[in-house]
Amino acid sequence: MVLAISDSSTLIHLSKIGRLDLLKDFYGSVTIPLTVWKEVVLEGEGRGGAEEVTRARDDGWIQIDSPKNSDFLILLRRELDDGEAEAIALAVENSPSILLVDETDARKIARLYNVAITGVLGILIRAKAEKKIDSLRDVLDALLEDGGFWVSNELYSKVLKIVGE
């Protein structure tokens, strides 16, 4: 099974729409860097994702790990925040893996290191294809309204077209 490693944004956005379970369904387990844990759970106490990620860790399907290559991490931190840098470093160290990340800069840098990536939209497209959600439009609307997610009108339409909605 491919190792899934997540940055905070995917965890937070899926939690806000009550669909963090999709990660367990698709990947079995997800590894997050300690910095992501701190950002989502400790610093995010009382906000979307904190309770859900804690429960997932307690249930055993979210694990916490730290990258080993500190020099590589220093390099990544020049361009990215700590959570993104640690998530990419873990993905590179644990190849093959898939990185769950939405931020454009982090996605570009992950691609430079040949890390497979997906984000919230990719996960939701897969969920629709595997009939885990009935209406992608409804879930996307909830993501935009309740989840604090931003997507351009062009991408919104493109994603719906991909799944035939």
DSSP 49-68: THHHHHHHHHHTSEEEE--S
Closest CA to 98 of 77, 79, 111, 116: 116
Would you say residue 40 lies in a domain? yes
Q: Does residue 149 sit within a domain?
A: no
The stretch 95-118 carries a mean pLDDT of 93
Count of structural domains within the chain:
1
Does position 93 have pLDDT exceeding 70, yes or no? yes
Whether residue 91 lies inside any domain: the answer is yes
The answer to the question of residue 131 being in a domain is no
Angle at 81 between CA 75 and CA 86, to 5 degrees: 65
Distance from C-alpha of 86 to C-alpha of 34, rounded to nearest angstrom: 8
* Average pLDDT value for residue range 21-36: 95
Mean pLDDT of the residues in the chain: 93
Task: Give the predicted TM-score (pTM) of the model.
Answer: 0.91
Query: How many CB atoms within 10 Å of residue 111?
Result: 12
Name the residue range of residue 31's domain: 3-120
pLDDT at 165 over 60: yes
Q: Within a domain: residue 150?
A: no
Domain with 60 in it: what CATH number? Answer: 3.40.50.1010
